[in-house]
Amino acid sequence: MGGPAIRGIVDRVEDGIAVILLEEGGRVYLPAGRLPPGTRAGALVRVDLEVEGQADPEEVAALIDHLRHSGHL
């Protein structure tokens, strides 16, 4: 089971990426397609996190490589 939910507001969607400003500070970037249907700027959202396990070094390297090549890093 995950920890307490984090509340936020959708600030904007640019180039298919949603920017969510978190109530406790910070921001989260998500593919806009992961938002519930009809979500747009100004929507209040809840972000739930859950640990699925520990990533191995190869998974971390592959994710970083993907983010760099897609222009998100």
Beta bridge partners of 52: none
Q: Which two tokens stand for residue 63?
A: 């994710």
Give the residue carrying structure tokens 């992961």: 34
**Is this model's pTM higher than 0.95 or not?**
no
Using one digit for the tens of pLDDT, what is the confidence trace for 10-69?
Answer: 999 998 899 999 999 999 999 999 999 999 999 999 998 888 889 899 989 998 898 888
- Sequence-distant (6+) residues with CB within 8 A of 70 are none
Angle, CA 52 vertex, CA 14 and CA 57 arms, to 5°: 80
Looking at the domain 6-69, which fold is it? SH3 type barrels. (2.30.30)
Residue 72 has pLDDT above 80, yes or no: no
| Residue 3 three-state SS | coil
Residue (of 30, 61, 56, 64) closest to 45 by Cα position: 30
Residue 4 has pLDDT above 90, yes or no: no
